[in-house]
Amino acid sequence: MVLRAKSAGTDHAVHSGQPADRQSPVRSRAVRILGIRVDDVTLAEAASAAGEFLRDGAPHQVATVNPEFVMEARRNPAFAQVLREADLCVPDGVGLIWASRLLRQPLRARAPGVELVWALAGLCAEHGRTLFLLGGRDGVAREAAQRLQARFPALRVAGTFEGSPEDPRAPAQVRAAAPAVLLVAYGHPRQDLWIHRHQVELRIPVAVGVGGAFDFIAGRTRRAPARLQRLGLEWLHRLAREPWRWRRMLALPRFTLLVLRQRLTRRG
């Protein structure tokens, strides 16, 4: 858990033997799950943070963390560094809520990446800022942009580009469009590593790795029924519809066992 101490009007994180994390201007509390920081922010607070980032104008990175992120960061030092240095790590996966409660450091709510995309689009429409959608395949970014504009007619989309993390044209496309908000759908950890690598040159006020959000927004992939979402079984619904994801899902039982071990170690 990150403790906050105020000195001369500035917040600082206090850690014991842990690498320093970048401090979000809205973060009042964070939880460490298997050593990985997750900020205790609701969806509304995450959107509010994005608004502050837009007003600030400096480059900021937002990560939508779930149990797969945690497991990847444990074996991938470069990805772990990205999460440490991110300006905001929102709790996307329901597994994080379960883990935080078991560890007696409860996160208050999820901030699903798909819902965050809708919130960011609304924020851009309200304040006259532009949005760029990077990644996805077979025109899904363009379809997602159309859906976002249908809900928010005032939204200005600076552009869409499929490409890949290795495509040398991608940074130039984003730089030429100069958006206020960049959504990158390369899947983790590639999307987050890409943002971290290019933020210095692109200087996007809000850059977010959004995974498969474009598919959901475009309507190509259906979200789990609300009842399954409330029960925390959205992952099972997605696995049933996309059985090829089973290898990635193997991270979930390992995550569960490690959290249980952390809880028992603390009790001991």
Residue-wise pLDDT for 42-67, tens only, equals 999 999 999 999 999 999 999 999 99
> Nearest CA to 38 among 82, 80, 84, 89?
89
Q: With 50 as the cut, is the pLDDT of residue 188 above it?
A: yes
Identify the band that residue 24 occupies on the pLDDT scale cut at 50, 70 and 90. low
Q: With 60 as the cut, is the pLDDT of residue 2 above it?
A: no
pLDDT of residue 115: 96
Least confident of 59-68, 97-106, 195-204, 256-265: 256-265
Identify the band that residue 167 occupies on the pLDDT scale cut at 50, 70 and 90. very high
CA distances from 249 to 68, 201, 255 (A): 8, 35, 10
Q: Where are the domains of the chain?
A: 21-267
The percent of residues in the chain predicted with pLDDT above 90, rounded, is 71
pTM: 0.82
Give me the mean pLDDT over the 242-251 stretch.
56
Average pLDDT value over all residues in the chain: 85
Transcribe 93-117 into DSSP letters: SHHHHHHHHHTT--------HHHHH
pLDDT of residue 234: 59
Q: pLDDT: is 94 or 229 the higher one? A: 94
Q: With 50 as the cut, is the pLDDT of residue 149 above it?
A: yes
Q: With 70 as the cut, is the pLDDT of residue 34 above it?
A: yes
Rounded Cα distance, 228 and 109, in Å? 16
pLDDT of residue 163: 83
Identify the band that residue 1 occupies on the pLDDT scale cut at 50, 70 and 90. very low
> Nearest CA to 183 among 124, 135, 115?
135
Least confident of 127-141, 155-169, 193-207, 231-245: 231-245
